[in-house]
Amino acid sequence: MRLKHFSISFGEQILKALADESRIRILNLILRNKEMCTSDLEQVLDFTQTKTSRHLAYLRNASLVTNRKIDQWVFYTIKEEGADFTTQIFNYLERDTLLQKDQETYEILYSNRELAINKLQTRRWVAP
């Protein structure tokens, strides 16, 4: 779905949301990974829970991200209406070293998580 009505006020919201490095880093990770959990964003970016939540709320209010909750976890995705616009902007930023480092950190954390899950699933539980 493409953005149908790009007005000045909507453009202002988006550009203000993109005027902060923390929000750019968050959006980049969500865009590259399709979906991100709040706790993963905190860990990758080394942000506090408060800082992460504040920036995610700003992005949500700017209509750039949407969320879904599963138990105590909240997962964020790029809103379908703004996906084209967001993708185009981040195509210009794909070579930024800080954004690349954030993605590498996430990939390492994700692979370590996968290894731990695999280890738990293959471990044989023996009663003492």
Which CATH number is 74's domain given? 1.10.10.10
Question: Taking residues 78-98, what's their average pLDDT?
Answer: 87
Count of domains in the chain?
1
Q: What separation, in Å, do the N-terminal and C-terminal C-alpha atoms of the chain show? A: 57
For the record, the structure tokens of 3 come out as 């953005």
Please check whether residue 128 lies inside any domain of the structure: no
Average pLDDT of the chain is 85
Please check whether residue 51 lies inside any domain of the structure: yes
Please check whether residue 68 lies inside any domain of the structure: yes
Q: Has this prediction a pTM greater than 0.85?
A: no
Query: For residue 98, is pLDDT > 70?
Result: yes
Please check whether residue 2 lies inside any domain of the structure: no
Domain containing 65: what range? 8-122
Please check whether residue 3 lies inside any domain of the structure: no
Q: What is the DSSP letter of 109?
A: H
Please check whether residue 50 lies inside any domain of the structure: yes
pLDDT in tens, 10-60: 778 888 888 999 999 999 999 999 999 999 999 999 999 999 999 999 999
Q: What is the pLDDT of residue 118?
A: 63
Q: By the 8 A CB rule, do 106 and 33 touch?
A: yes
For the record, the structure tokens of 44 come out as 């990758």
Amino acid at 91: N
Query: For residue 5, is pLDDT > 80?
Result: no
Q: What is the pLDDT of residue 1?
A: 42
User: 3 φ, ψ to 5°?
Assistant: -65, 120
Please check whether residue 127 lies inside any domain of the structure: no
